[in-house]
Structure 1
Amino acid sequence: MTATPLATAFAEKPMAPLEEIAATAGVTVAEVLRALPDGEAVCIAGSHFVEVMQAMRDWGEVTTIVNTGDVVLEVKAPIPDGSVARGYYNLSGKPLHGHLKLEACETIAFVSREMFGRLGHSVQFYSHAGNCMFKVYLGRDEARNFLPGQEAAFTALRARLSAA
C-alpha cells in the first residue's frame, strides 16, 4: 500500500510547522490539523470565536502569529479587549489591533504539540477554505516555561468548549 503525500510529509518531518507539512503534502493546513495524532488537536466550531477571544484576554502576554507562507508575523502582547460590529471582532489594543471577520472562521483548534523540543499550546483559527487565519501561543518566561496560570486556563477553556 502506498503512503499518501500527507503521511509521507508527516513521516519526513513530524515536528515541522503545520504550514510546512501542508505545503509539502499539497493539502490545506486544516487537513494537516485533522491528521494530527489523537490528543494533539481539539476542534470546536468557529461560532465560539468571540467567547474564545474574550477568554484569552485574561491570560496575559501571549504570542499571536499570522503565517502567510511568505511572512510570519509575531506579536507578543496580551489579547486586547474587543467588540463586535459590522460582522467583525474589532481588537482595540496596542500593539495588537485589527478587525477579524467573524463569519470567516469555521474552526477553532486547541493544539498541543511538541515544537523545538518543548510542548507548545496554541489556539488556532481556521477559515472555511482550510487556511489558518492566525494562532495564539501561550507565553513563556526567560527559562522557556509557560507563564503562570496560562496552561491551566488553556486546558480549562479547551475542556469546557469541547464538552459543549
Structure 2
Amino acid sequence: MQENTTHNEIRQLMVEQPRLRTIEIARALNCSELQVIQALPEQVNMLPADQTHSLLTDIADWGKVTCIIEVSGFIFEVKAPFPKGKNAYGYYNLSHDSEGLQGHLKLENVAAIGLLTRKVQGKLSYYTQFFDHDGNSIFKIYLGRNQDGEVIPEQIERFNTLSAQGVSN
C-alpha cells in the first residue's frame, strides 16, 4: 500500500462512494486491489498461493459458477462449470472439452487468494479472487445462483469450508 494510503482511507472512500468497485477504489487511492480487499470490512479470508492448484481442482467439481476477468476496463464473464485442468508445459491447462471457459493459467504468477463474502450490486455474493505479485486481480470465481437468483447452498457449504481454512483479515 502506498505509504499514505491506510485501511481507514479505503473504508472512508467506500462509505462516501459505496457503488465503487474494489478496482476503482484502488485506482482512486493509487494502491493495489489486493490492498483494498485486505481492508474490506466484510468477510475476507486469505489462502496462500500454493493452494491455487488444489483450489481450482476443487472448484471444478462445484457445478456452474461465474468466472470474471477484467482487463483495462473490459469485463468478461463466463457462466459455466469451471473446467478441470492439468499441469503441462509450465501451465495449468483448462480442459478443451469444456463448453465454456478454456485457457492456460500460469499458477506461479498467483501471489495471493482471497475468499470474500460481501454484497455486490445489493446481493450477498461469495467469490474467490486471485491476485498477481503486484496485487492486481487476475480473475474471480463467483458461486453460482439458481433460477431464483439465490446462491447455490451446496456451493456455499464448500466455500465456507475453504474459508475456515484461511486467515481472516
After superposition, the CA RMSD in angstroms is 2.0
- Tell me whether 44-53 or 140-149 shows the greater mean CA deviation: 140-149
The normalised TM-score by structure 2 is 0.87
Q: Which runs of 5+ in 1 are unaligned?
A: none
Structure 2 unpaired stretches of 5+: none
Aligned match of 1:89 in 88, 92, 95? 92
Note the C-alpha offset of 1:143: 1.6
1:17 offset after TM fit, Å? 1.8
1:130 maps to which of 120, 128, 135: 135
Q: Which amino acid aligns with 2:137?
A: C
Q: Distance in 1 between the 2:74 and 2:131 partners?
A: 17
Shift of 1:14: 3.4
**Partner in structure 2 of residue 119 of structure 1:** 124
Structure 2 counterpart SS, 1:141 = coil
Question: Retained in 1: the 8 A contact 2:143–2:152?
Answer: yes
Q: Which amino acid aligns with 1:20?
A: E
Equivalences, count = 161
CA distance in 2, matches of 1:10, 1:69: 22
- Tell me the residue number matched to 1:42: 45
Q: Deviations over 1:49-92 (max 9, x none)?
A: 10000110111000000011410000000011100122211101
Q: Report sequence identity in percent.
A: 35
Structure 1's consecutive aligned runs of 4 or more residues displaced over 2 angstroms after TM superposition are 2-9, 13-16, 160-163
TM-score (norm 1): 0.89
Aligned letter for 1:22? A
Q: Which one of the candidate residues 53, 57, 66 is aligned to 1:54?
A: 57
Counterpart-to-counterpart distance in 2, 1:55 and 1:162? 19
The AA in structure 2 aligned to 1:137 is: Y
1:109 is aligned to 2:85:
no
Q: Contact conserved, 2:110 with 2:131, CA < 8 A, in 1?
A: yes
Instruction: Measure the CA separation in 1 of the matches of 2:147 and 2:134.
Output: 37
Structure 1 residue 25 displacement after superposition: 1.6
